[in-house]
C-alpha cells in the first residue's frame, strides 16, 4: 500500500491494500488507521490481536524481523460487507526467502473500515521446509497426515 486508501473498498483498492513489492516501505501507522477500525479484530495462524494499535504493532514487528517483505494480491471477491483476498507473501530473513500463499477474509464496518481481518495460510510448511533436517521431517510429517 503505497498511496493513501480510504473506504469504501472495491476490488482495485483491496488489491492495492494487499500489494507491497520488495524494496518499498510498509504502510505507515496513519495509513493503517485510515483503513482499519479502532476496534479491529485480527487473527492469523500465529497470533490474535484486538484494536488498531495492536494490529499496527503486529505489522511493524513482522517488518522489523525481516530483511524485506513483499505482498501481492491475486483474486479479490466482495459480497456485501465481506471480502476475500487471495495473496502471496514473501519474507526474506537472513538470506532465505519464505513464500506463504494465503487468503484474508475481511469484514467491513458501517463506516467502510475493516472491523475483522482473518488470515488463512500454512505457517509450518513454508517456514520449516527450507531448513536443513527440519524441512525433511516436516515434509515427512505432512505426507503421513495428508497422503
What is residue 6's predicted lDDT score, i.e. its pLDDT?
77
Task: Write down the domain spans for the chain.
Answer: 11-122
Q: Judge residue 110's burial from the number of C-beta atoms within 10 Å of its C-beta, 0-12 exposed, 13-18 middle, 19 or more buried.
A: exposed
What is residue 145's predicted lDDT score, i.e. its pLDDT?
82
Residue numbers of the chain with a pLDDT score lower than 70: 1-4, 147
| Grid cell locating 125 | 510448511
State the CATH class of domain 11-122.
alpha beta
| pTM summary value | 0.88
Beta-carbon count within 10 A of 22 CB = 12
Per-residue model confidence as pLDDT tens digits over 105-133: 999 999 999 999 999 999 988 888 777 88
Helix (H, G, I), strand (E, B) or coil at 113: coil
Contact present, 88 and 99 (Cβ < 8 Å) = yes
What is residue 147's predicted lDDT score, i.e. its pLDDT?
62
| Short-list 124, 120, 63, 58, CA closest to 93 | 63
| Short-list 31, 30, 127, CA closest to 19 | 31
* Beta strand ranges found along the chain (DSSP E): 36-44, 47-50, 68-79, 82-93, 96-108, 114-121
Amino acid at each position: 500500500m503505497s498511496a493513501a486508501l480510504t473506504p469504501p473498498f472495491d476490488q482495485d483498492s483491496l488489491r492495492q491494500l494487499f500489494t507491497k513489492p520488495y524494496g518499498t516501505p510498509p504502510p505507515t501507522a496513519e495509513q493503517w488507521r485510515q483503513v482499519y477500525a479502532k476496534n479491529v479484530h485480527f487473527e492469523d495462524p500465529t497470533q490474535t490481536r484486538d484494536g488498531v494499535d495492536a494490529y499496527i504493532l503486529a505489522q511493524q514487528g513482522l517488518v522489523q524481523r525481516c530483511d524485506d517483505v513483499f505482498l501481492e494480491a491475486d483474486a479479490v471477491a466482495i459480497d456485501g460487507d465481506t471480502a476475500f483476498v487471495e495473496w502471496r507473501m514473501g519474507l526474506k530473513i537472513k538470506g532465505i526467502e519464505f513464500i506463504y500463499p494465503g487468503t484474508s477474509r475481511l469484514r467491513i464496518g458501517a463506516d467502510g473500515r475493516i472491523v475483522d481481518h482473518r488470515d488463512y495460510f500454512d505457517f509450518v510448511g513454508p517456514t520449516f521446509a527450507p531448513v536443513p533436517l527440519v524441512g525433511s521431517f516436516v515434509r515427512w510429517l505432512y505426507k503421513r497426515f495428508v497422503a
